[in-house]
Amino acid sequence: MLDTHARHVVQPFIKRTAQLLLNLGLTANQVTWIAFLIGVSTGVFIYFEFMVTAVILLWVSGFLDAIDGSMAREQKKTTAWGTVMDITFDRIVELSVIIGLAVAFPEAQFVLLLLTASIVFSMTVFLTVGALSEKKGIKSFYYQAGLAERTEGFILFSMMIILNHWLIWITVLFFIVEMFTAMQRLLEASKILKE
């Protein structure tokens, strides 16, 4: 929801940062890899109980993840491979957070497994509709907005990491939000794919 409706607020900063990184000679794919490596390290920092560091790295990774697409569009060099890397790396970063939490807090493993299942379900709908829809947006496929987009996920992951004494309840909330989003996307898909 925030990615769709509040992007215009941060877009000027994203665009300036994208231009700065292009001026430094970096490519969009290089920034994608940097974002991925920073993001995937969050699980390790969670395991070693550097919770604030983990959250900071998660958000730096997310910010760079937003910048790489702007860099590619600025240079008119968007590629299908860039899209595949972007979506795949996003999920691996999310899995890093979930695995880090599951190892550090074994009592929450069941609800973390449910959360993972709900993310898989929601992303399956999202990617299938994106592939089958003839509509296109700013990205190279149809982007289905929903209650839980990347920013909402990062907010909830941050709460899970920092407020880990409430980890089970925050994870249950995340699961409900993710399932609501999946159903929201399924309902939209039933309309747009019948057109």
Residue 2 predicted with pLDDT over 80: no
Query: Tell me: the pLDDT tens digits for 111-126?
Result: 999 999 999 999 998 8
Query: Tell me: the pLDDT tens digits for 154-189?
Result: 999 999 999 999 999 999 999 999 999 999 989 988
Residue 49 predicted with pLDDT over 90: yes
CATH number where 11 lies? 1.20.120.1760
The domain of 172 spans 2-192
Which residue's structure tokens are 């699961």?
175
Which residue's structure tokens are 């997310």?
62
The total of structural domains in the chain comes to 1
What is the pLDDT confidence band of residue 127, given thresholds at 50, 70 and 90? Answer: confident
CA distances in angstroms from 15 to 4, 126, 135, listed in the order given: 16, 26, 25
